[in-house]
Structures are given as C-alpha cells and as structure tokens.
C-alpha cells in the first residue's frame, strides 16, 4: 500500500520529514545515476520496517515502469509518456519533455499532499476525477520551510525548481 494521509489530521512532523527525506535521497540517487523516475506519487512510495531508522521504518521509491536512463550527457527526454495525472509536471503533460526537474515537480505535489492530506484531485462522479480547487493546501501547522519548498518544487519554471541535492539539504535542516 502507498503512502496516504488524512486531511487536517495533525501529522507527526518528525516522521513526515523523515519520509520526505528518504524519498528525496532516493530520487537524488536516481538523478546522480542519470535516471528520471517519471511517476513520483504516494502510491509509489512504500514504507518498510527498519529498526535502525529513528522512526522505525524507511520510505522507498517503487514502480520504475516509466523510468528512463538519460545517459551522462543528456538533459531531457522527448516524447515521454505522462505518468499519473495530477502528479505529472506541466512540461511532461503538455510537451512530453521530461527532465530531472519533472521528478522534482511531482515530489512537490507529494510533499504538499503528505503535509496536508489534501490530494491534487477529487472524485466527481463514478470513476471520474478532476483537479482539486483547494490544492495546494497548506495547514497552519505546516512549517513555512516545507511550504516554501513545496511551492518551489511545483514552480512552472523548471529552472526555478531546486535539485534533489538541495531538497535533501533543506529537509535535513527542518
């Protein structure tokens, strides 16, 4: 089962930050090895018991069905098939152009959802979904450093998004 949180339920900030840090470190490792995951979302983050972790478990990125190896000199991939709607970056959804910043955008969506319990979509009828007008939602208990990080990750300008190296550094300071 993937990672999910209830809206307005006060999360354990220590556990939440550790989960986000595990995911960011995993994505940083992938990016160092020139791999774009392509589908970062809560269902692709699994929690595994780990007594050596300060919170008793580790978060692991899974499902590499859309991942792609960039090669050491490539900066992007064209004609990328979009991942899960509502977690997919605008440049992939619109142009099929994926970069490492595309994973960062998806991470920002996950960060916001994890902190608030508010998903980027809502069910409208039957099995239909649409964008959630109240997303992103930042509850008052959410530290401003996490809110600012989420907004930077979700910036429509790919060059304004942080790298996973920077994200790891910020999360280590929370």
Cis peptide leading into 122, omega within 30 of 0? no
- Is 63 one of the annotated active-site residues of the chain? no
Residues 2, 124, 117, 38: is their CA dihedral positive or negative?
A: positive
Instruction: Quickly list DSSP for 89-130.
Output: -HHHHHH--B-HHHHHHHHHHHHHHHHH---SEEEEETTEEE
Counting Cβ atoms within 10 Å, is residue 79 exposed (0-12), middle (13-18) or buried (19+)? exposed
Active-site option among 22, 39, 63, 103: 39
Residues 6+ apart with CB under 8 A from 83: 38, 39, 40, 41, 66, 92, 106
Query: Which residue numbers are catalytic?
Result: 39
């Amino acid at each position: 089962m993937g990672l999910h949180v209830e809206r307005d339920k006060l999360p354990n900030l220590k556990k939440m930050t550790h989960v986000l840090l595990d995911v960011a470190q995993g994505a940083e490792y992938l990016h160092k090895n020139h791999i774009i995951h392509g589908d970062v979302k809560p269902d692709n983050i699994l929690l595994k018991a780990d007594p050596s972790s300060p919170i008793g478990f580790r978060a692991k990125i899974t499902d590499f069905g859309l991942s792609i190896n960039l090669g050491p000199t490539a900066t992007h991939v064209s004609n990328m098939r979009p991942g899960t709607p509502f977690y997919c970056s605008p440049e992939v959804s619109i142009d099929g152009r994926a970069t490492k910043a595309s994973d960062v955008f998806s991470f920002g969506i996950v960060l916001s959802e994890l902190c608030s319990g508010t998903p980027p979509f809502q069910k409208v009828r039957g099995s239909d979904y649409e964008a959630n007008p109240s997303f992103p939602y930042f509850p008052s208990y959410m530290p401003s450093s996490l809110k600012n990080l989420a907004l930077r990750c979700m910036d429509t300008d790919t060059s304004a998004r942080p790298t996973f190296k920077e994200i790891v550094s910020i999360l280590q300071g929370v």
